Every structure is written in structure tokens, then in C-alpha cells.
Amino acid sequence: MTPFELMTLPYSADALEPVISASTINVHHGKHLAAYVKNLNTLLPGSGLEEASLEEIVCKAEGGILNNAGQIMNHNLYFQQFGGKPVQQAPTGPLKAAITAAFGSFDAFKEAFQKAGATLFGSGWVWLSADKEGKLVITQETNAANPIQKGLKPLLTFDVWEHAYYLDYQNRRPEHLAALWQIVDWTVIEQRYLA
């Protein structure tokens, strides 16, 4: 079994300030995500999933293995989608067309996405995903769930676990969600959509 490793961030810990502080990055990536990686590697021996990919584990596992694998997958997608300025601030091409078809406009999509994130009770994630035909949907996923478990392709996610924003925004989750648009790199989301 090759152990899973903590992903390397594609930017410095302070690159997303003031939207996400270096303090939050250091705790979120360096402690929370690192713990999920360590926990998964501890749980896998004897599970029958030792050689499975992260995606396979998320689709097949249950309990602690699923929770830790799901959190690794979710956080990897989350951290990879951001960039220090400047980033491409809006979608283009086929993804822009798909967003307009599904939601009416980019602004209407952002409003619906933020509302889904703000109204998710407890801890979890809000996702923009594509179905097999490329149609876009917004889903709320609790705890460590991921849209791939529903046969969807995850494209964009906002983490609404409190550890993602509490140091910077305390209980102001909607304010945090609104600020995240400044650091989303839409070139990454477009690559995921077209892959």
C-alpha cells in the first residue's frame, strides 16, 4: 500500500489574504487536512481498499474510512481551485454557456450557490457539479460527502465547516461565501468541466 500524502498547496499560505488568512490556511490545510490524511492511512490496512484510488474509496467505503477519504478529496479540490491574484474571475466558453443555461446568468448562479452554502445546516460542502450530459447542478453535501457518490463530476466547492472560516469570519458564513469569489480561479473550474 502506498500511503496517501498531504497535498502541496499551489500557492503560499498568505496568497489568499485577505479573503482567507494565512492563519486559517495553516490550521485548515496544515492541521485539519493533515489529520484526515494520517487517519485514512491508519484505517486502510486490512480494509480491502489498500490499493484503491481516493475516488474509489469515496464511492465504496463507509464509516471512518469514508469520512477521512471524503474530506481529503473535498479539501484537495477546494484548495486547488483558488489562486493568489490575479485569477480568472469568471467562466468562459462552454462552462459559461452551461452556467447560463442552468441558472440564467453567472450572477444568478453565484446567488444560488451562496444561498445553498449559507443554508446548509451544520457542517458540509456546497458543490457545483456536472452530470453525464454536462448539465450543471448545485448540491448541498453534509459532512464528508462528495457529488461523485451520486454519479456527478465535482467542479467547484465551498467548504462550510466552521474550521474553513471561523478564525477570519467567526459566525458570518454568508460574508465568507461572498468573499470567496475573489479567489476562485475559473481556469481550474473550466479544466475540470472539460476533462
Q: What is the pLDDT of residue 57?
A: 97
Of the candidates 58, 19, 30, the one whose C-alpha atom is nearest the C-alpha of residue 145 is 58
Architecture field, domain 22-80: Orthogonal Bundle (1.10)
**Residue positions counted in the chain:** 195
Superfamily covering domain 93-194: Iron/manganese superoxide dismutase, C-terminal domain (3.55.40.20)
Confidence at residue 49, expressed as pLDDT on a 0 to 100 scale: 96
Q: Hey, what's the cell of 75?
A: 479539501
Region at 147 (left for phi over 0; alpha for psi -120 to 50; beta for the rest): alpha
Are 75 and 37 contacting, i.e. CB atoms less than 8 angstroms apart? Answer: no
In sequence order, what are the beta bridge partners of 128? 138, 156
What local confidence, expressed as pLDDT, does residue 150 receive? 97
Domain ranges in the chain with CATH number 1.10.287.990? 22-80
CA distances from 129 to 34, 122, 191 (A): 26, 21, 13
Sign of CA dihedral 99, 178, 113, 139: positive
**Total Cβ atoms within 10 A of residue 133:** 5
**What does the pLDDT read at residue 86?**
84
Quick one: 107 exposed, middle or buried, by C-beta within 10 A (0-12, 13-18, 19+)?
Answer: exposed
State the pLDDT at residue 84.
84
- Domain boundaries for CATH 3.55.40.20 within the chain: 93-194
Average pLDDT, 10 consecutive residues per value, the chain (195 residues) = 92 96 97 97 96 96 97 98 90 97 98 97 97 97 97 98 92 95 97 96
- What sections of the chain are H helices per DSSP? 22-27, 34-43, 54-60, 63-80, 93-103, 106-119, 166-169, 173-180, 186-194
Q: How far is CA 69 from CA 41, 57, 66, 102, 131, in A?
A: 9, 7, 5, 30, 22
